[in-house]
Amino acid sequence: MNASLPPGLYIVATPIGNLGDLSPRAAQTLRGASLILAEDKRVSAKLLAHTGATAPMWTYHDHSSEADRDAVLARLANEAVALISDAGTPLISDPGYKLVRAARVAGHQVHTIPGPCAAVAALTLAGLPTDRFLFVGFLPAKAKARGEAIAEIASIRASLVLYESGPRLGEALLALRDGLGSRDAAVVREISKLHEECRTGTLAELADRYAGAAPKGEIVIVVGPPPEREAASDEELDAALQAALTSMTASRAAAHVAELLNLPRKRVYARALTLGPDR
Ligand code: SAM
């Protein structure tokens, strides 16, 4: 063990395709750890050989049990333990949050060594708004659940970032087109590798492009936010309110129409009072 590395849990980000992206601090931490938790020991062996890390590896993945976590906790008091995933930042669509929580509850130090993350790297390539984004991770594989998951996020005013695999890309783009309309989007592939690629277009164009043509490699889909609605005119407001007032009180009609037309509720309520049965 490297005596300069104090005991605790170290979350270490590793490359997503290009070994050159391993930070010096990540390499130093892996060399200094006395135990390395890896999702798949065979996958991580190459990286550890590259860094010169010689600590033993334990498997830690989504199916690790509470007993597995307890065994790790027992080591944390006196030793530096590093957590890595197959690639990128641990905990981002990868295991680890339960271990971080348990380590903190048990009073151990938790440190992060930040680095590559496919979601953030894809955002930097897509050329879509980055001021607000929602990381969606993987959509469900089954069509019904996938449609429901997309409907749930359709009105969120932010860019969306999704992880996907080549064989499912075509279906996912069709479902996104159907659920979100034809927003601007990007399919980002093989980031930091030889065949890195970013294709942009509307969801409809990208769905056509990839229909029945599964690309190879690892993929992130980035979808731009929904288009800004033009402000509703007074005539549109009155028409929507009159329709709502046939079955609702002024207050409920105002809430419904304010949401529908994206208008301030106060203004809509004031107008409803001049039109509705409660006036
Ligand atoms: N923890 C990782 C991270 O920080 O990005 C993500 C792990 S998740 C299990 C794996 C998914 O990340 C892949 O299916 C793909 O969607 C995306 N991904 C990972 N590496 C990538 C790369 N080099 N290019 C594009 N997408 C990548």
What pLDDT digit, counting tens, does each position of 181-230 carry?
Answer: 989 999 999 999 999 999 999 999 999 999 989 999 999 999 999 988 77
Does the pLDDT at position 3 exceed 80?
no
Structure tokens at 209: 């492009």
pLDDT digits (tens, 9 = 90+) for 180-189: 998 999 999 9
pLDDT given for residue 260 in this prediction: 77
pLDDT given for residue 61 in this prediction: 93
Could you tell me the distance, in angstroms and rounded to a whole number, from the CA of residue 220 to the centre of ligand 1?
7
pLDDT given for residue 1 in this prediction: 44
CATH 3.40.640.10 fits 8-113, yes or no: no
Mark 163-191 as b/e (b = at least 16 C-beta within 10 Å).
bbeeebbbbbbbbbbebbebbbbbbbbbb
Write down the residue that tokens 């207050």 correspond to. Answer: 251
Domain 118-223 belongs to what architecture?
Answer: 2-Layer Sandwich (3.30)
The residue nearest atom 7 of ligand 1, judged by CA position, is 93
- pTM for the model stands at 0.85
Q: Which atom of ligand 1 is nearest to the CA of 88?
A: 4
Strand ranges inside 65-189, DSSP E: 80-83, 110-113, 133-138, 159-165, 184-189
Could you tell me the distance, in angstroms and rounded to a whole number, from the CA of residue 20 to the centre of ligand 1?
17
Mean pLDDT of the chain: 94
pLDDT digits (tens, 9 = 90+) for 64-77: 999 999 999 999 99
Could you tell me the distance, in angstroms and rounded to a whole number, from the CA of residue 16 to the centre of ligand 1?
7
Residue 26 and residue 33 in contact, taking contact as beta carbons nearer than 8 Å: no
